[in-house]
Structure 1
């Protein structure tokens, strides 16, 4: 287990009884956490491998909380915890169902961690916290079309934006007019997180943003949900792996092969590019956000992914004045690859819950 390390921008010497927000992103292969102060400086980062099962997830989460608090020291104010986890999450009760990759069928994660640590805990779906974390960077470090996300300038910008103080209140958005931000998670599956006025939208049942299971694709590939033609079957990491198999990092290879004239690669690239562009259009036409962020594992492809999606959006715009009028490529951003945006979003979600109303904070009664 790696030692907990302060973030490069950490300022632990000057922390004087400030509130501390812990954010933990529980993923299928790793659990990553951050500690932030009241000015949203990153104080510490830590990650450990994921183990499956209710007890293992509980124990590892508690261990990570202690690791994150160690470098902060005893001179701190109130501590809040935000957790992000895959599966169906009842955020108001801290309950997780069907986190299949973690071996969790049903778990009262929030109350369990709160009881063990004595800290108030907020639990959110992993895509939602990634959306919140990405939205918090939307005015600073997100990559627009034509920008190289791994450039030195981009890295400096990302680090700077993570430690700029002065963003007040519980809002997670920067101080500009993009009050609705959508994060499209291009991971193993496809889903969207919606941030409105700096807060996560949940919908009536928690299914908001599950755009991957809209059956709109003409290829009618079977989906694990039981339907055919779901958008996820042509616009996700698993879709690329299925259509371009046998490659460790299939999307960069697919794009490279297509650019070299490989006809099959060009066919698959068109399917994937059209699918992601369709996801962008669905988000734009149903939610109309000012900023649309592409994140998840596929986003690490960087500028070539943005170029591919922009090309397909431009194709649609070329035959539709209405679509052209939406200026969709101008709304696209690429999530920064060098910031733990999901853990940052979890920390923000935990702090925002206690800043709004006590019932939002799972375990507050247990901790008192």
Structure 2
């Protein structure tokens, strides 16, 4: 039997619980589908696809639309199958064997996962107990490890914290390699590192259509960065990697900015309501600039609270046994009705209620 690479044997894939429930608030998706007009527009254009031809390898029309939306040149835009493939492409080009990638934990698990899959060495910095990032720790990690790539997620997943612009500037000042700012949740925040992008700075900002654009099912992400860096990514990405349907959907989505803005406003308002209610229930709630909240049900075992919610047909993310996140749980902001149902169920669980509903779990990973 052929063996997997030695350095991959200890790795596990990225998973979340697959549970049959009434309300699903565990994967940070949009709680609402795209507008009907978007669906109609996509259907109309998809009907005209030349299916026997390869898609535009450069995805030029989509990249032009993204560039216009961010007021950058099309040569500064790279697109791929979800922001994870964007990250993978960056690491294939700038990390790999003999190179070092720095992260600051806890943060998005796929940064370290993809880096290790490419063969890079991962160095993990530590956040403070409140999950903020101490500038002294940033300097220590970068000075000691001299990383070829350093990741900063803002707002951070799973904590929700928004990194201040001063922290990004600090990294740009001292990092010897590429700084990647992952902004999957940036539209829910009050600032973006896009304002720091220029042709002379080795920094990129990654984004996704999965959250605010209600397109998680499409798997579409992109990157904004210096044109010379974007050009290098073409060396490692597979040919014709972005299918025609995805290119159409992404381009058309950008015509519905006002709808997106309305949804962002609603989610931010609901995030505030949930945060206040969680505090009233006696939990520790961490500040969030994303479409989710991390909280710790003080005085209760996180896993037991998660199970109590599943028993009430509500699924959130159990982070309670993740490194540095003891007893923590993460809830995605849903519709107002879903959020109310979650808060009511959580109140029952924390009060010791045991009303249950029949569920079925299809995976051990949570």
Task: Normalising by structure 2, report the TM-score.
Answer: 0.31
Task: Normalising by structure 1, report the TM-score.
Answer: 0.31
